[in-house]
């Protein structure tokens, strides 16, 4: 019998000792009867156990036979070490950018909003703003159910007698609505009009922050000649005023269904200098059909009104996965990114990354790989049906996510794989899922408390933890799986698995200066692989206005914001 329990850390800055219902009971998930504990290879209609050596050898030979037809798919549930290893393996080892993650499906609008407004994909707000704001606006967001520990900080303020105005702008009532003084229900997609209506009144009434705008803001518009350029082209303040002049409260009411007086109320709040206003949003805006646009407009309201950069004044996009920021966006495990905000298409970024990874010049390919949808489309489409110039994907490795459940258009992007016997799907997971159902090879993985790890959350806070319990059976860390395949490729003669000094791509020296054989499971924890990977990645982080602390500082702290 296994006994398990979870408790919040009273000294933790984020949850202050609280857990949600899921957190209190999550310990039970470690010991389910159907937990995956052995590598399983498909043979006909069955999955049969094989050894880890056989599994690693099979993957390595699949990749070695056609590296350009192999892809890696992960998520914001990768730890920073796991993501850093997968990214290095692909881009600095195989010289391939065919790696992407599921935040492509949920955070792209937030990312392009940050990039187009600030030039860098970084949230400026933090969770402490929830303690300092006078007004909290939820834009299509339901934190009472989706981020209950964070939302409890707001509810706790009320229980202490503090006054805070909560406003829910949404398309349906939720548990969050019940806590709010104001609920404004809009027609789907018309929240853009609401944002423009607020901006229109700020300018018309002269209540925008003139000093802040003059000192810190520029105005830009869509460039018809380059519609894909997210930065657009410059426009004057007067051109901006004219562009939103039609968004009177009455016109916005016709478009959105939100009463004109409510639009005036929102504009009056943003026009007050004595208030601190925080906006929260999550998938309601980020999976919007015009997600980038609404992200930019909400950022724009905060900038125009000067409700930015002070405690309690912040536009904040929340993430759903624990490390969608720290691993996918910051460590760069997307097909177009390199660590630390660098870009695949930028030659200087590629060269600096090659230096930091200590691999030969030219190792990193200059063309982005497939984004998530294109990746699964190429994998689930027979080679003879691909469009001209389309690159096939024959082998796909999925870690820490369940695309067989979560992809859009599953029939086209996933279920077609069932009849494609020449396509090889590798899935690392802890339980059978909709994805393992079609897997050719299933690898049993360790869960978060069964391995060392680090996450980076949506307030730029990095957390570190050490392994607490052993994984069951033959389950093993995802990071070890990646490194073991890399070393088997080295044994098979793949030159990309060597750095410029001729050493193994994931070379780590032990205390005596000898190479630690971390590709062997029995030796993986002889050294702290996580620390080595993080210290290597940390060198990338100074490129765009951030500087992550040394690993040992995170060991001493309960999470640090950069």
Q: Rounded to whole angstroms, how far apart are CA atoms 560 and 562?
A: 6
Q: Which of 8, 257, 320, 390 is catalytic?
A: 320
Residue with the two structure tokens 């933090």 = 126
CA 85 to chain centre: 16
pLDDT mean over 493-520? 97
Q: Rounded to whole angstroms, how far apart are CA atoms 103 and 317?
A: 13
Tokens of 428: 């690392």
Is 283 a known active-site residue?
A: yes
Q: Which of 22, 28, 210, 254 is catalytic?
A: 22
Q: Rounded to whole angstroms, how far apart are CA atoms 254 and 535?
A: 55
Contact 177, 151 (CB under 8 A): no
> Is 387 strand, coil or helix?
coil
So what's the pLDDT on residue 4?
56
Contact 280, 143 (CB under 8 A): yes
Pick the range with the lowest mean pLDDT from 19-28, 239-248, 356-365, 469-478.
Answer: 19-28
State the average pLDDT for the chain: 95
Query: Ramachandran region of residue 4, left (φ > 0), alpha (ψ -120 to 50) or beta?
Result: beta
Taking the chain, what is the end-to-end CA distance rounded to the nearest angstrom?
42
Question: DSSP code of 142?
Answer: -
Q: Rounded to whole angstroms, how far apart are CA atoms 392 and 68?
A: 9
CA angle, corner 78, sides to 521 and 142, nearest 5?
Answer: 150
pLDDT mean over 173-196? 97
pLDDT mean over 339-363? 97
Q: Single out the residue of 253, 275, 274 nearest to residue 262, CA to CA.
A: 253
Is 321 a known active-site residue?
A: yes
Q: Which of 88, 91, 98, 106 is catalytic?
A: 106
Q: Which of 20, 283, 285, 497 is catalytic?
A: 283
Is 520 a known active-site residue?
A: no
Is 285 a known active-site residue?
A: no
Q: How far is CA 340 from CA 29, 332, 494, in A?
A: 34, 7, 27
Buried b (16+ CB within 10 A) or exposed e, 419-447: ebeebbbbbbbbebbebbbbbbbbbbbbb
Q: Single out the residue of 311, 314, 319, 331 nearest to residue 124, CA to CA.
A: 314
Proportion of the chain above pLDDT 90, given as a percent: 84
Task: Give the pairing of strands 342-343 and 337-338.
Answer: antiparallel
DSSP string for 6-18: ----TT-TTTTT-
pLDDT mean over 296-311? 97
Q: Rounded to whole angstroms, how far apart are CA atoms 161 and 287?
A: 36
pLDDT mean over 415-438? 97
Residue with the two structure tokens 């600030």 = 118
Q: Which of 20, 90, 107, 479 is catalytic?
A: 107
pLDDT mean over 484-498? 98
Contact 489, 63 (CB under 8 A): yes
pLDDT mean over 300-309? 97
Residues facing 235 on adjacent strands: 219
So what's the pLDDT on residue 5?
73
**What tens digit of pLDDT does each residue of 226-283 get?**
887 878 899 999 999 999 999 999 999 999 999 999 999 999 999 999 999 999 999 9
Predicted TM-score of the model (pTM) = 0.95
Q: Rounded to whole angstroms, how far apart are CA atoms 537 and 548?
A: 9
So what's the pLDDT on residue 409?
96
> Is 277 strand, coil or helix?
strand
Tokens of 3: 């006994």
């Amino acid at each position: 019998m296994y006994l398990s329990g979870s408790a919040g850390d009273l000294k933790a800055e984020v949850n202050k000792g609280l857990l949600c219902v899921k957190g209190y009971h999550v310990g039970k998930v470690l010991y389910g009867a159907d937990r995956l504990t052995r590598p399983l290879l498909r043979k006909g209609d069955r999955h049969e156990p094989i050894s880890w050596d056989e599994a690693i050898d099979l993957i390595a030979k699949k990749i070695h036979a056609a590296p350009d037809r192999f892809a890696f798919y992960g998520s914001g549930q990768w730890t920073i070490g796991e993501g850093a290893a997968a990214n290095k393996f692909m881009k600095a080892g195989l010289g391939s950018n065919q790696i992407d993650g599921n935040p492509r499906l949920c955070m792209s609008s937030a990312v392009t909003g940050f990039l187009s407004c600030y030039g860098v994909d970084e949230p400026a707000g933090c969770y402490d703003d929830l303690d300092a704001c006078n007004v909290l606006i939820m834009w299509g967001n339901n934190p009472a159910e989706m981020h209950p520990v964070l939302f409890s900080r707001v509810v706790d303020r009320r229980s202490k007698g503090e006054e805070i105005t909560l406003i829910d702008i949404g398309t349906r009532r939720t548990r969050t609505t019940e806590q709010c003084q104001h609920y404004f229900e809009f027609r789907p997609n018309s929240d853009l009009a609401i944002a423009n209506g607020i901006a229109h009144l700020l300018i018309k009434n002269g209540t925008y922050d003139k000093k802040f705008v003059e000192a810190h803001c520029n105005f830009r518009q869509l460039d018809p000649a380059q519609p894909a350029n997210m930065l657009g082209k410059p426009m004057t303040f007067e051109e901006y005023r004219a562009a939103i002049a039609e968004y009177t409260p009455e016109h916005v009411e016709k478009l959105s269904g939100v009463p004109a007086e409510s639009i005036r109320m929102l504009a009056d709040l943003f026009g007050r200098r004595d208030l601190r206003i925080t906006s929260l949003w999550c998938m309601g805006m980020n999976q919007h059909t015009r997600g980038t646009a609404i992200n930019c407009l909400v950022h724009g309201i905060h900038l125009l009104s000067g409700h930015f950069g002070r405690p309690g004044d912040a536009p904040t996009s929340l993430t759903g996965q624990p490390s969608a920021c720290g691993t996918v966006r910051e460590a760069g495990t997307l097909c177009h990114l390199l660590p630390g905000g660098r870009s695949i298409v930028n030659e200087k970024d590629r060269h600096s990354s090659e230096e930091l990874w200590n691999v030969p010049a030219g190792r990193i390919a200059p063309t982005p790989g497939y984004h998530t949808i294109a990746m699964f489309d190429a994998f689930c489409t027979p080679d003879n049906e691909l469009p001209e110039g389309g690159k096939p994907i024959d082998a796909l490795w999925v870690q820490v996510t369940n695309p067989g459940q979560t992809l859009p258009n599953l029939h086209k992007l996933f279920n077609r794989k069932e009849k494609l016997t020449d396509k090889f799907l590798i899935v690392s997971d802890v339980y059978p899922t909709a994805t393992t159902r079609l897997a050719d090879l299933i690898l049993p993985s360790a869960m978060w408390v069964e391995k060392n790890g680090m996450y980076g959350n949506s307030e730029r806070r990095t957390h570190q933890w050490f392994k607490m319990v052993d994984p069951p059976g033959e389950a093993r860390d995802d990071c070890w799986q990646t490194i073991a395949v890399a070393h088997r490729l080295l044994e098979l003669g793949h030159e990309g698995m060597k750095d410029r000094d001729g050493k193994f791509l994931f070379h780590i020296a032990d205390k005596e200066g000898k190479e630690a054989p971390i590709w062997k499971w029995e030796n993986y924890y002889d050294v702290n692989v996580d620390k080595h990977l993080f210290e290597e990645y940390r060198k990338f982080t100074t490129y765009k206005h951030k500087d992550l602390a040394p690993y040992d500082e995170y060991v001493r702290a309960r999470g640090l914001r950069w």
